[in-house]
Amino acid sequence: MDLDEKRYSLRHEFVKRIFNDLFYAVGNSHGKVTKVADLLEIPRQNASHYLYGRINSFPESLIKNIQNILNISNWELKQNTVYIQSGKDIRDSILSKGREIRKNQLKEWKLDIPKIEELFDDNYILIKKWFDKYIKLINFGSREFIQITENKDKIKLVYTNYSKSQKKIFVNYLPSKIKIDDDFQYFFGLWCGDRLGSGRFGVVNKNKDINLFVADYLKKLHQIPSFIVYYSSLIKKPEFDYKVDGFYKIKKDKNKGYAVQVGIKNRIMYSFFDYLYKNLMIVISLLPNKNIFFAGLFDAEGNVFLEDSCFRWSCLDEEKVSIYKKNLILLDLFDRYDGCNLVTYNKNVFAKKVLPYLKNLDKVNESNLICYKSGTLSTRFINILIIIKQNPGITNFQLSKCLKRVKRYAQTRFLENLEYIDSRNYPKQLYITQKGMDLIQGARIL
In this predicted structure, the answer to whether residue 106 has a pLDDT above a threshold of 60 is no
pLDDT tens by residue, 128-156: 999 999 888 887 767 788 999 999 899 99
User: What are the start and end residues of each CATH 1.10.10.10 domain in the chain?
Assistant: 379-441
Mean predicted confidence (pLDDT) in 332-361: 97
More confident residue, 85 or 29: 85
When mean pLDDT is compared across 109-118, 195-204, 326-335, the lowest value belongs to 109-118
Winning range, highest mean pLDDT, from 2-6, 303-307, 441-445 = 303-307
Average pLDDT, integer, range 171-194: 97
Mean pLDDT of 351-375: 96
**Does residue 101 surpass a pLDDT of 50?**
no
Q: Which residue intervals of the chain bear CATH 3.10.28?
A: 180-281
DSSP string, 161-192: EEETTEEEEEEEEEES-EE-SHHHHHHHHHHH
Provide the pLDDT confidence category of residue 385 given band limits of 50, 70 and 90. very high
> Is the pLDDT assigned to residue 179 strictly greater than 60?
yes
Fold that domain 6-89 belongs to in CATH: 434 Repressor (Amino-terminal Domain) (1.10.260)
pLDDT of residue 91: 63
**Bond into 238 cis (ω within 30):** no
Per residue in 12-60, pLDDT (tens digit) is 888 888 888 888 888 766 778 888 888 888 888 888 888 877 777 788 8
Residue-level pLDDT at 95: 61
Q: Which residue has the higher pLDDT, 51 or 99?
A: 51
Running DSSP on this structure, what letter comes out for residue 283? Answer: H
**What whole-number distance in Å separates Cα of residue 106 and Cα of residue 138?**
10
DSSP 8-state class, residue 357 = G
Strands in 310-314's sheet, in edge-to-edge order, are 302-305, 310-314, 341-344, 336-337
pLDDT of residue 285: 97
Q: Which residue, 292, 293, 314, is CA-closest to 303?
A: 314
Rounded distance, CA 346 to CA 334, Å?
8
What whole-number distance in Å separates Cα of residue 393 and Cα of residue 431? 6
3-state helix/strand/coil string of 230-269:
EEECCCCCCCCCCCCCEEEEECCCCCCCEEEEEEECCHHH
Average the pLDDT over each of 110-114, 127-131, 316-320, 391-395 and give the range with the smallest value. 110-114
Beta bridge partners of 374: none
Q: Distance (Å, rounded) from C-alpha 124 to C-alpha 139?
A: 26
What pLDDT sits at residue 253?
Answer: 64
Mean pLDDT across the chain: 88
Asked whether the beta carbons of 50 and 12 are under 8 A apart, the reply is: no
Nearest CA to 394 among 382, 385, 406, 404? 385
pLDDT tens digit string along 237-276? 999 999 999 999 988 767 788 999 999 999 999 999 999 9
pLDDT digits (tens, 9 = 90+) for 197-211: 867 999 999 999 999
The string of DSSP codes covering 72-140 is: --HHHHHHTEEEEEEHHHHHHHHHHHHHHHHHHHHHHHHHTSPPHHHHEETTEE-HHHHHHHHHHHHSS
How would residue 436 be classed by pLDDT, with cut points 50, 70 and 90?
Answer: very high
**pLDDT cut 90: percent of the chain above it:** 58
The answer to whether 227 touches 211, Cβ cutoff 8 Å, is yes
pLDDT for the residue 87: 61
- pLDDT-derived band of residue 442, with 50, 70 and 90 as boundaries? low
| Most confident segment among 64-73, 74-83, 415-424 | 415-424
The CATH class given to the 379-441 domain equals: mainly alpha
Strand order of the β-sheet with 120-121 is 120-121, 124-125, 178-179
Residue 411 has pLDDT above 60, yes or no: yes
Looking at residue 446, its pLDDT comes to 45
Rounded Cα–Cα distance for residues 61 and 228 (Å): 59
Reply yes or no on domain 180-281 having CATH 3.10.28. yes
What pLDDT is stored for residue 233 in this prediction? 86
Q: Reply yes or no on whether the pLDDT at 407 is more than 70.
A: no
Segment 93-119 shows an average pLDDT of 70
Q: Categorize the per-residue pLDDT at 97 as very low, low, confident or very high, splitting at 50, 70 and 90.
A: low
